[in-house]
Chain A
Amino acid sequence: NAGVMQNPRHLVRRRGQEARLRCSPMKGHSHVYWYRQLPEEGLKFMVYLQKENIIDESGMPKERFSAEFPKEGPSILRIQQVVRGDSAAYFCASFRDRDEKLFFGSGTQLSVL
């Protein structure tokens, strides 16, 4: 019973490039959350998705960031034209309705040079 799978674990990009972070939720989970963790800070909510729907994107920066969760395949967090300030750990979590339990992936560490 695989957990939440995120890849890559580490991603290095130069300023101006695009970053694509992937998240496969646990089997049977149809809700996905993305969080960003900056050094010395807690996790900040970014976006909440269900299959083919963005439910809440109130935590997403208005520009350069987008997220999707297609009917088939993983959820994708896309950052265009990355800047150094985007360097952070990005965590995905999938949600189990019956007990409000969030299951987290191991995260993707994005480093922007």
Chain B
Amino acid sequence: GDSVTQMEGPVTLSEEAFLTINCTYTATGYPSLFWYVQYPGEGLQLLLKATKADDKGSNKGFEATYRKETTSFHLEKGSVQVSDSAVYFCALNDHQAGTALIFGKGTTLSVSS
């Protein structure tokens, strides 16, 4: 079945460091891919999305490129801030399998000043 695999955390970085959180997926069709962010005590918020191969989603300095050949959607940011500390979830929506988003386990990012 469809699945999403994320790198395990926690990821601990200093402010202004470069961030990569790896995400790979398995899907039967041509999914849309998403990154969601969960700040402490809150629900998930959509960070960015990509709907087809080679699309790049971007928001708030974060980027991720839909790579069909490697079935990946890695999240990157050039310079993290303390306020980026949160849990990041990679997710897919395989339109052939239904409309429920399938999430990875989440990666906790902790940024210190």
Residues of A within 8 A of B (CB): 4, 6, 31, 33, 35, 40-45, 48, 56, 59, 91, 93, 95, 100-102, 104-107
Q: Would you list which residues of chain B between 89 and 106 have a CB under 8 Å from chain A?
A: 89, 93, 98-106
A93 to B100: give the CA distance in the assembly, Å.
Answer: 10
Instruction: Check A48–B45 contact: CB distance below 8 A.
Output: no
Closest to A91 in B: B43
Residues in chain A near residue B100, CB distance under 8 A: 33, 45, 48, 56, 59
B43 touching A42, Cβ below 8 Å = no
Question: Per a CB cutoff under 8 Å, which of B6, B32, B36, B41 touches A100?
Answer: B32
What is the bound-complex CA distance between A5 and B4, given in angstroms? 28
Cβ 8 A contact of A48, one of B99, B102, B105: B99
Interface residues of B in 3-20 (CB under 8 A from A): 4, 6
Select one of B32, B49, B89, B99 contacting A42, CB under 8 A.
B89
Bound complex: CA A110 to CA B79 (Å): 36
Q: Do A100 and B93 have beta carbons less than 8 Å apart? A: yes
Nearest chain A residue, comparing its CB with the CB of B8:
A40
- Verify if B44 is at the interface (C-beta below 8 Å from A): yes
**Shortest distance between the CB of B62 and any CB in chain A (Å):** 17
Residues of the B chain whose Cβ atoms lie less than 8 Å from the Cβ of A101: 46
Residues of B within 8 A of A43 (CB): 44, 89, 103, 106
The CA of A48 and the CA of B97, in the complex, are separated in Å by 13
Whether A42 contacts B46 by the Cβ 8 Å rule is: no
